[in-house]
Amino acid sequence: MPKNDPVDVLIIGAGASGAAVAWSLADTKMHILCLEQGGWMNPAAYPSTGRDWEARFYGDYSLSPNIRARAEDYPINDDDSPIKVANFNGVGGSTIMYTAHWPRLHPSDFPSRRSMASPMTGRSITRRWSHSLPRTTA
């Protein structure tokens, strides 16, 4: 779309809400423009991919843009506020932060019943689990 064409819908921010609205309108005939202050993040660089994820929460992935100090961040003075800002300037918005980004589970995270045995007795622990599960009726 050329830069000077009029748009039907202008969405400010490609966070959880902005991206969802843009996606829900994608099949319409409307011209949609979604503006974001930051760029795309590389999932391989997320703190969850390394062992230092907790330390990075106090640095380049801090909730505070004052600490993070990325080029697209702007300073926020919340000294007199009981509420501390949690924002992220980039595609995905604050969902990039720990509040919403969780790594995908892998098949190895779900062992088969055969491998679920107590290390002390060697007996299957699936029976014990099944008693704690809620019963459903058809």
> 2-29 b/e with 16+ CB inside 10 Å = b?
eeeeeeeeebebbbeebbebeeebeeee
The model carries a pTM of 0.56
Q: What is the model's pLDDT at position 111? A: 60
Rounded to the nearest integer, the mean pLDDT of the chain is 78
Q: Answer for the pair 76, 65: CB distance below 8 angstroms, yes or no.
A: yes
Q: Where are the domains of the chain?
A: 1-35
Instruction: Tally Cβ neighbours within 10 Å of residue 137.
Output: 3
Type of residue found at 105: L
Q: What is the model's pLDDT at position 100? A: 47
Six-digit token string for 115: 């491998």
Share in percent of the chain as helix, strand, coil (round to 5): 30, 5, 65
Q: Looking at the predicted structure, is the pLDDT value of residue 137 above 80?
A: no
Q: Looking at the predicted structure, is the pLDDT value of residue 23 above 70?
A: yes
Q: What is the tens place of the pLDDT at every residue in 56-101?
A: 889 988 888 999 899 999 999 988 988 888 888 888 887 777 554 4
